[in-house]
Amino acid sequence: MDRFRGHIAGVGTASGTRLVVGRWDESPFGAFTDVMMEDVGGVRTLLAPSEDIAAYVGSTYSFDEVQVVPVRATLSASHLTVEAGGLRLSADLGAPTPLGRLLGLVPRALATSPRWLALISPAAALLLPGVRTAGSAGNGRREYYGVTSARSITAASAELHGASLGTLAPLRPAVRFGFSSAPAAPQIVSVVTTISRTG
């Protein structure tokens, strides 16, 4: 199994462009950040920092365009910044969400267990429409999202090639990169993503 430990941030903008940022502290590729972007017309773009990462992520999710570009990110207790090619994102982080506080009560070993995540996926879909905790990763593989905490994103500014994407907005409609979307309410989660090579 491949494990990715880090954070996923989901941000909507007033322009209709939606951003999903993966900032990974540990992974088969070491530490890295990638960005999945879907514009108002439904065009899905991956911004990845290397050819190897682009190939792996591109075989796991669906994109209309893949760009290998320098990607840099900083994450503090109060702020997330991302620079990826022509994309610039700055987000303010708020308090834990109500669900995030509940997630903090679940033992980490259970919260990140693929068996547990497969079991609770239907309930997650009812609680957060569009969100799943287990599903297909393509090419006969399975993927599991084990979220251990969640914090709100209270404000954000983003621009693409110098043009503003507008103010912070819900992540609607749901993004279509894989079997699960990020929640509609902008937030950042601590997560262990597990991808089973054997299906």
**Please, are residues 108 and 117 in contact by the beta-carbon 8 Å criterion?**
no
Tally of domains within the chain: 1
Residue 153: pLDDT above 60? yes
Residue 169 belongs to some domain of the structure: no
> Which carries the bigger pLDDT value, residue 130 or residue 3?
3
Q: What is the largest CA-CA distance in the chain?
A: 44
Tokens of 57: 């992520």
**Please, are residues 59 and 178 in contact by the beta-carbon 8 Å criterion?**
no
The pTM assigned to this predicted structure is: 0.95
Residue 60 belongs to some domain of the structure: yes
Residue 93 belongs to some domain of the structure: yes
Residue 190: pLDDT above 50? yes
Helix, strand, coil tally for the chain in percent (to 5): 15, 50, 35
Residue 87 belongs to some domain of the structure: yes
Domain of 78, in residue numbers: 2-160+185-196
pLDDT per position as a tens digit, 135-151? 999 888 999 999 999 99
- Which residue's entry shows tokens 């514009």? 39
pLDDT in the model for residue 198? 63
Mean pLDDT, the chain, integer: 95
| Angle, alpha carbons 37-42-43 (nearest 5°) | 60
Residue 179 belongs to some domain of the structure: no
Residue 171 belongs to some domain of the structure: no
pLDDT band for position 199 (50/70/90)?
A: very low
Residue 19 belongs to some domain of the structure: yes
Query: Whose CA is closest to 142, among 78, 32, 60?
Result: 60
Residue 66 belongs to some domain of the structure: yes
Which amino acid appears at position 180 of this protein?
S
pLDDT in the model for residue 130? 86
For a pLDDT cut of 70, what percent of the chain falls above it? Answer: 99
Residue 125: pLDDT above 90? no
Question: Mapping DSSP to helix (H, G, I), strand (E, B) and coil, where does residue 40 land?
Answer: coil
Range 43-70 burial, b when 16+ CB lie within 10 A, else e? ebbbbbbeeebbebbeebbebeeebbbe
Q: 95 phi and psi, to 5 degrees? A: -80, 165
pLDDT per position as a tens digit, 71-102? 999 999 999 999 999 999 999 999 999 988 98
